[in-house]
Structure 1
Amino acid sequence: MHESMTKGRARLRTAWRRIASVQVRMLLSLGLVLGFAAVGTTAYWADTATFTTGKIEAGSLDLQLGGRHPVTDEIQWQAIGLDQPWNYSVLQLDNVSPGESVAMELHLRNVGTTPLTFTGVGTSASNDLGTHLKASTWLGAAARNDGTREAVNRKGHCDNGTEAWWAGHALSTTPAHVTPNNRAVSLVPGASIQVCILAGLAAEAPNSIQGKSTTIKVVLTGKQVGTT
């Protein structure tokens, strides 16, 4: 009897120690969980990064025109700035007779910072000279003039051109394309080209236009590359 009671008490002590050990482990585990939770709510990583761009500046578009001075042979730039007109007095013929003509160089350059394309149309101020007022243009050609007003044998020449834009084109008050098929010509910043323009009366011009006159007007329109 005493032996059985002793064994029973021993089993109770063992069971209690096991239960106590489990409770301690549960409490320890709970404490660890709560401990990590407390740390997690008080330490968030954070960072900030900032960048600044370089200078942002609008570009410019400026198509300038110029001509070669007949005496100094230097290119003089006119129509400087935006939307500037230019009266090129070199291209004129007074007291002209049938078959006479005059040649001039038109220089164009892009002094802006933006690549551009340009097209142009030409007209005469009146139709007094009818279809007998002729004009020809060559890209890259140099202008040369022979003869005198007194001898009535003035003759213009466009030498060594790379492309014919007009060839004996009749001018009137109806606008006509300066470049073939109104094809746009490209100019990158700093680039320039020259065009030789030859204008005069056709050799078959009739007596009915004697004493009549007109002026030629060419309007060039430059646009930023990519626009329509």
Structure 2
Amino acid sequence: MLCLGIFAAPAAVGTMAYWTDEATIESGTFTAGTLDLTVGGTVADSNYLPGPGGTYEYSTLTIADLLPGESIARPFVVRNFGTTRFIYNGSVYTTNNALAASGTEGGLQVAIYAGGTPTNAATQTTGYRSGSCAGGNLLKNQEVSTSTSTVKVSPADISLAPGATQVHCVVVLLDLTAPNALQGARTQLIVKLDAKQVGAP
């Protein structure tokens, strides 16, 4: 007689190894661009006011003892000191209405050119000082007052690429019809420039 014996033996117990791996993607640096309009009296010094806001004191844009018909011409330069193209424009106004036109009587006038070379003839001693902008494209010519909406730097916004400059020439004139009441009056001219990124409303 054949006997078969079956015995239950304990199963081998062990931990299975599952191999794993991982990878991480690390990007390069993300840097926000800058929009920075700077100004100056010449191209060489047009990096005044880096960063937001500020006031450039243009001490040579001045004339004393101005007579009716006399004028002065000066340049100013706008630079894109940032990393993105922007468009800019601005307002031209005075700090008070002491030299503003009234009715049919003339007052202080401003002409702004894109480009142009300022020339000034005569002196206070010789009389009838005259400023002009040769070779520029006239953007605006109008009487000025304290109203910031009256005179714009340009009828249309001006586009400026990063690192580029735009030279402007400005002529400030006391109208020939300025009345006696304006004798001894004084004011300051303000050119307020505003820039925004292309595509902004």
Q: Deviations over 1:121-153 (max 9, x none)?
A: 111111111221011011011111111011222
Runs of 4+ in 1 over 2 A off after TM superposition: 44-52, 74-82, 176-181
Q: Which has the higher helix share?
A: 1
1:97–1:152 CA contact under 8 A, matched in 2: no
Aligned position for 1:105: 75
Please report how far the alpha carbon of residue 45 of structure 1 lies from its aligned counterpart in structure 2 after TM superposition.
11
Confirm whether residue 157 of structure 1 aligns to residue 132 of structure 2: yes
- In the other structure, the counterpart of 2:63 is 93
The percent identity for this pair of structures is 33
Question: Size of the alignment, in residue pairs?
Answer: 179
SS in 1 for 2:166: strand
Alignment TM-score, normalising by the size of structure 2: 0.81
Distance 1:155 1:79 in 2: 31
Contact 1:64 1:109 in 2 (8 A): yes
- Bigger relative contact order (CA 8 A; separation at least 6): 2
User: Is 1:83 paired with 2:83?
Assistant: no
**Highest CA radius of gyration, 1 or 2?**
1
Write the distance in 2 (CA, Å) between the matches of 1:180 and 1:60. Answer: 24
> Which residue of 116, 123, 128 corresponds with 2:93?
123
C-alpha displacement at 1:47, in angstroms?
A: 7.7
- Kept after mapping to 2: 8 A contact 1:96/1:152: no
2-side partners of 1:158 and 1:130: how far apart?
23
Aligned residue for 2:153?
Answer: 179
- 1:202 Cα offset (Å): 0.8
**Aligned partner of residue 211 in structure 1, secondary structure:** coil
Separation in structure 2 between the aligned mates of residue 213 and residue 146 of structure 1, nearest angstrom: 22
Structure 1's unaligned 5+ residue stretches are 1-41, 69-73
Structure 2: 5+ residue stretches without partners:
1-15, 102-106
2:187 to 192, 199, 214: 214
Q: Does 1:53 align with 2:23?
A: no
Instruction: Name the TM-score, length of structure 1 as normaliser.
Output: 0.72
Considering only aligned residues, what root-mean-square deviation do their CA atoms show, in Å? 2.1
> In 2, distance between residues paired with 1:190 and 1:130?
37
Contact conserved, 2:144 with 2:151, CA < 8 A, in 1?
A: no
Shift of 1:50: 4.0
